[in-house]
Every structure is written in structure tokens, then in C-alpha cells.
Amino acid sequence: MDELSCKLLVIGAGPGGYACAIRAGQLGIDTIVVEAQKPGGTCLNIGCIPSKALIHAADAYETVACAAEGKSALGISAAKPSLDFARTIAWKDDIVRRLNGGVAGLLKRAGVRSVAGRASFHDGKTVEVRMANGIQLIHAEAIVIATGALPIELPSLPFGGRVISSTEALALAEVPKRLVVVGGGYIGLELGTAFAKFGAAVTVVEAAPRILPQYDGEISEPVARRLRALGVTVLTSAKAKALAAGGAGLEVETGDGGQATLEADNILVTVGRKPATSGFGLELLDLDMDGPFIRIDDRCRTSMRGVFAIGDVTGEPMLAHRAMAQGEMVAEIIAGHRRAWDRVSIPAICFTDPEIVTVGLSPSEASRTGFSIKTDLFPFKANGRALTLDREDGFIRTVARADNHVLLGIQGVGAGIAELSAAFSLALEMGARLEDIAATIHAHPTQSEGFHEAALRSLGHAIHI
Ligand code: FAD
Ligand code: NAD
């Protein structure tokens, strides 16, 4: 058996693992990263990037389809579009391929050694990697577990055949005529909306009383409205039971206690993701757990000295940028820097239509801190830029302490507002007050003026409402 030694071994080259390895390499740490599949992990290969590519393609298709149906308010008409979905998928795959190469190149440039294969623990300092051409033993002074998460399977609807996870949904050969989506959260609604725009008849089955139950109703309502406009059927308080006899549909218990059978070419199950903690000898380390996740402290240290964990395997929010920030921090800690997790907030964006951006605390979360709060919103229907985009749905909302006006949270819903997340995050991270936002000139005409106006409104002197 071949043997290698290093100072740092990273298991998993997703956003957490590759960011950790690159930063470690930059800091001169002798680093090996082991990846069982492709560099970039879930996010780059079967998550963030391919889903956003399909969402963009679906938007473009739907714009032309609307024009062809004479529904363009802009006066544009077009011939009925056709879709070469194989080409759409090939375009998406090419983006993924280029980024795969990019991550591999960045690792190499940072001096990180990459080993392709599946790692499993022998003990807290030794890992065995099963490669295509044999087995490699790796000894390390420190190990970072960055193994990510996997889709949750419903026992009554195991994956296979028509029942698919997001991974298969991102690689379908054709747009399904009828798509049933079980779970109206992030993935179900991002992909369900995209397939509806590509022309599928989409039904969303959500167990909670409303879609996107992780957000408050004020935020989810513009998305629900747009889903209705796109012809998506949404069944709330509904539970998927099992495949219908013959396998061509889904038995559902509806909110009123009734039963329904939904015909489907594909059933996309998106009811959450679970940490990847089994099948690689983790039990040999006997780490403290936090429910199904690996328990970590504010330095991403596990209960075993020299073993760190980052990213989805450590819990919510399961977001790529959290994993990356943890990865960079751990590399610096291993290099001897004094670092701890001190971020004010982790932004979250749901790439639905309209998009949702949340940073910090919602009004109800902020109220639970014990501070009295001020919360105000500015609707996009009063924003010139939103009107010129023919998208006046949504708003920007600020949540601030009533006594000193320090911002505690910022939320927005609006077409294409994902990029505003940077302004929101910066404001929170720098401890901005409503007065700071009010005193900042926001360029006109932009949707960002909604942020300015929400702050002005909270101070009692909005200009445009
Ligand atoms: P992962 O990216 O899951 O990487 C873990 C890696 O470890 C994998 O490559 C895996 O092959 C490897 N691995 C596991 N076990 C072993 C082993 N024993 N040996 C060797 N290698 C191993 N997040 C966002 O922030 N924005 C989005 O827009 C977004 N969209 C998403 C869309 C979809 C459809 C999905 C499924 C997820 C999305 N996410 C999004 C979530 C995001 O993908 C994850 O939060 C992120 O990938 C977590 O990074 P990670 O490094 O913890 O794990
Ligand atoms: P989710 O937690 O966002 O949504 C799951 C939904 O399924 C919930 O609304 C839940 O009430 C519902 N549900 C659960 N069991 C059900 C059942 N039996 N029948 C019907 N509905 C049921 O999970 P997800 O959409 O699978 O996404 C997983 C994670 O991936 C997210 O939490 C997020 O961290 C990450 N993600 C992020 C992005 C992004 O940042 N834009 C995009 C996709 C995924």
C-alpha cells in the first residue's frame, strides 16, 4: 500500500474543502485534498452552478414564449420558440466542466496535492483512500472533514425510475410534460419554477401550510403569486404518500384530509438534505454529534484534537459561502493565526422568481432578542428601476433596533435582486445604522434605492412613498 504524509488532509473538495485547501496552500501548509468525485463538490457539479444555469436558460425561454403569446407588455412579439434541451444541458455541462478545471488548477497553483478516490478513516491521523488504481494510506497532523450533504430520500418514495433527486433533475434528457415536486423549499421551488418556464406542468406538494416555510409569509407571498401566474399548482399542507398503482403518478394526502392522484412523468423529491457522515469510518473517531451533524465549536474544531469539520456536514445553513468561509478560517487556524467564527450574518438567497435575499434577523427573530425593533419596507412598485424592468413585485425590508437604529436584519424579494446581498451583508457586518444607509447615495435608477428608501422610511422621511 502506498503511503503519503502531510500536515493537513482535507476530505472532500466541495466549496468548503477546496477553499480550505487553497488557503492552506497559500499559507505554505503541506496539504492534500481527497475527492471521491469531481472538484467543486455538490455546489459546482450538481447544485448551485448547474441549477442557476438552468434557471437562467428557463428565464430566457419564458421571456420569448410570453412574447410569442402576445403577453409582452414591452410590445415585443416573437415566433413561438423551440427548445433544444439537449443543447441547454450541454451548455450547462460546459460551464461545470470549465469550473471543474478552474478549481483543479487553483488547487495545483496553491501547491495542494489532489488525490482522487474515496477516503475512509483508520483513526484521527490516518485515512485510507480507495483510488481507481489501488489504495493509498495518508498520514496527517490535522484532518478537515468536508464531506457535504446528500438528498433526503422519503421511505415511501425511494429514488429511482421516475422518482428523482435534484441531481437527476439537473441532467434530464428532456423537459418532463408533468412534473410533481415534493417539497416547496429552496430546491423544489428553484427547479420547479425553471421547469414550469420550460413548459412543464408543475405541481408542488408542500407539507407545511405555505411554501418556503423557513421565511415569513410577507416574503413568500410574492413568490407564491408568481408561481400562480406561471400556472404552477401548489398544494400546501399536503403529504406525498406513495407511487400510484402502475407507477405513473403520486398518491397525495391533501390539506383537507382528502386523497388525490397526481399524474407525473417525474417526481422530484426535495425535502431537505442530510449530512454525509456514514460509509467512511467516521464512527471510528466517536466524535460528538449535534443531531445528525458533526458538532463543532467556533473554530470548527470537533471533539477530537486535530480533527476539524466544515460545511454542510456541520449543519445549517447548508450554503456554499458558509462552507467556504469556514474552510478559509480553518486553514488560517492551522497556520497558527488567531481566528474564530465572528461573522454577524450569513446571507441566504433563494433563486426563485422573484428572488429572495435575507441577511441577519427577520422581524420575529429580532423581536425575540428582547430589543424593541423598528421594521419598515419599501415596495418595488414605487421604484423606478423595477418598473423599467417590468417587475414591480416585491420589496426591501429593514429590521433595526428602535433605540440606536443599528440594523439587525435586511430582507428583500424582487426580480434579480440577488446581487443586492453584498450591500446588505456589508451593512450588517460593519454595524451600520439606519442613518448610515440613509446618508449613503444610492445610484439612480437602481433597485438598491429600495434599500435606501426602506431605511429613510424607518427614520420617518422616505422620499418616494
Ligand atoms: P459538498 O459541496 O457537498 O462537497 C463535499 C464533497 O466531499 C463532495 O464532492 C463529495 O464527493 C466529497 N466526499 C464526500 N465523502 C467523501 C469521502 N469519503 N472521500 C472523498 N470525498 C468525499 N448553496 C448556495 O450557497 N447557493 C446556491 O445557490 C445553492 N444551490 C444549490 C442547489 C442544489 C440543487 C443543491 C443540491 C445545493 C445547493 N446549494 C446552494 C447548497 C450547496 O451546494 C452546499 O451548501 C455546498 O455544496 C456545501 O459545500 P461542502 O463543501 O460542505 O460540501
Ligand atoms: P428545504 O429545507 O429548503 O425545503 C424542504 C421542503 O420540503 C420544506 O418546505 C419542507 O416543509 C418540505 N417537506 C419536508 N418533508 C415533506 C414531505 N414529506 N412532503 C412534502 N413536503 C415536505 O430543502 P431543499 O429544498 O431540499 O434544500 C436543501 C438545502 O440545500 C437548503 O436548506 C439549502 O441549505 C440548500 N440550498 C440552497 C440554495 C440556495 O442557496 N439558493 C438552493 C438550493 C439548496
26-82 pLDDT, tens digit per residue, is 999 999 999 999 999 999 999 999 999 999 999 999 999 999 999 999 999 999 999
Count of all residues that appear for the chain in the document: 465
> Strand 355-360 to strand 407-414: parallel, antiparallel, or no bridges (unpaired)?
antiparallel
| pLDDT greater than 90 at residue 255 | no
Q: How far apart are CA 12 and CA 126, in angstroms?
A: 15
Whether pLDDT at 2 is above 90: no
Q: Name the residue with cell 492534500.
A: 32
Burial 330-358, CB ≥16 within 10 A → b, else e: bbbbbbeeebeeeeebebbbbbbbbbbbb
In this prediction, residues 107-115 reach a mean pLDDT of 98
Cβ 22 under 6 angstroms from ligand 2: no
What is the pLDDT, as a whole number, of residue 72?
A: 96
| Residue 444 annotated among the catalytic residues of the structure | yes
Distance (Å, whole) CA 263 – CA 267: 9
Q: What is the mean pLDDT of residues 407-413?
A: 98
Ligand 1 contacts CB of residue 187 (under 6 A): yes
Residue 291: pLDDT band (50, 70, 90) is: very high
Average pLDDT, the chain: 97
Residue 247 has pLDDT above 80, yes or no: no
How do the domains of the chain map onto residue ranges? Answer: 2-53+86-151+274-334, 163-271, 348-459
Residue 362, pLDDT score: 97
pLDDT category, 457, cuts 50, 70, 90? very high
How far apart CA 134 and CA 192 sit, in angstroms, is: 42
Question: Please, are residues 188 and 165 in contact by the beta-carbon 8 Å criterion?
Answer: no
Domain 163-271 class, CATH top level: alpha beta
Ligand 1 geometric centre to CA of 283 (Å): 21
Q: Using alpha carbons only, give the angle 243, 47, 167 rounded to the nearest 5 degrees.
A: 30
At residue 256 the predicted structure's pLDDT band, cuts being 50, 70 and 90, is confident
Do the domains at 2-53+86-151+274-334 and 163-271 have one common CATH topology?
Answer: yes
Q: Are 75 and 134 in contact (CB under 8 A)?
A: no
Q: Please give the number of the atom of ligand 1 that sits closest to the Cα of 324.
A: 51
Q: Ligand 2 pocket, 317 CB below 6 A? A: yes
Ligand 1 atom 47: the closest Cα is on which residue? 43
For 121-153, the pLDDT digits (tens) are 999 999 999 999 999 999 999 999 999 999 999
Catalogue the E-assigned strands of 211-257.
233-235, 239-243, 249-253
What one-character-per-residue DSSP string does 151-184 give?
A: EPPBTTB-SBTTEE-HHHHTT-SS--SEEEEE--
- Identify the nearest ligand to the CA of 272 by its number: 2
CA neighbours within 13 Å on the CB side: how many for 353?
22
Q: By percentage, how much of the chain surpasses pLDDT 70?
A: 100
Q: Are strands 126-131 and 118-123 parallel, antiparallel or unpaired?
A: antiparallel
CATH 3.40.50.300, domain 2-53+86-151+274-334, yes or no:
no
Phi, psi of 86 (to 5 degrees): -60, -35
In this structure, the residue with its CA closest to atom 26 of ligand 2 is: 272
For 210-243, what is each residue's pLDDT tens digit? 999 999 999 999 999 999 999 999 999 999 999 9
pTM (whole model) above 0.95? yes
Residue nearest to atom 43 of ligand 1 (CA): 43
Query: Which residue out of 444, 452, 461, 464 is catalytically annotated?
Result: 444
Residue 304 has pLDDT above 90, yes or no: yes
With a 6 A CB cut-off, is 208 part of the ligand 2 pocket?
yes
- From CA 25, how far away is CA 40, in angstroms rounded? 17
Q: Is the shortest distance between the CB of 42 and ligand 1 below 6 Å? A: yes
Residue 401 has pLDDT above 90, yes or no: yes
pLDDT tens-place string over residues 426-454 = 999 999 999 999 999 999 999 999 999 99
Looking up cell 433533475 gives: 169
Q: Is the pLDDT of residue 283 over 80?
A: yes
Tell me the average pLDDT across 198-215.
97
Separation of 255 CA from ligand 2 center, angstroms? 19
In angstroms, rounded to a whole number, what is the distance separating the alpha carbons of residues 364 and 361?
A: 8
**Cα of 8 from ligand 2 centre, angstroms:** 33
Residue pLDDT, tens place only, 156-194: 999 999 999 999 999 999 999 999 999 999 999 999 999
Once rounded to an integer, what is the mean pLDDT over residues 328-344?
98
**CA atoms of 12 and 333, how far apart (whole Å):** 19
Q: Read off the pLDDT band of 263 (50, 70, 90).
A: very high
What per-residue confidence (pLDDT) applies to 248? 81
pLDDT band at 7 (very low <50, low <70, confident <90, very high): very high
Residue 344 has pLDDT above 80, yes or no: yes
In this prediction, residue 1 has a pLDDT band, given cuts at 50, 70 and 90, of: confident
What pLDDT does 174 receive? 98
Topology adopted by domain 348-459: Enolase-like; domain 1 (3.30.390)
The residue whose CB lies within 8 Å of the most ligand 1 atoms, and thus the one to mutate among 9, 22, 23, 43, is 43
Residues 6+ apart with CB under 8 A from 405: 374, 433, 434, 435, 458, 459
14 Cβ closer than 6 Å to some ligand 1 atom: yes
Beta-carbon contacts of residue 322 (< 8 Å; ≥ 6 apart): 311, 346
Q: Which ligand is nearest to the CA of 211?
A: 2
Phi, psi of 329 (to 5 degrees): -60, -45
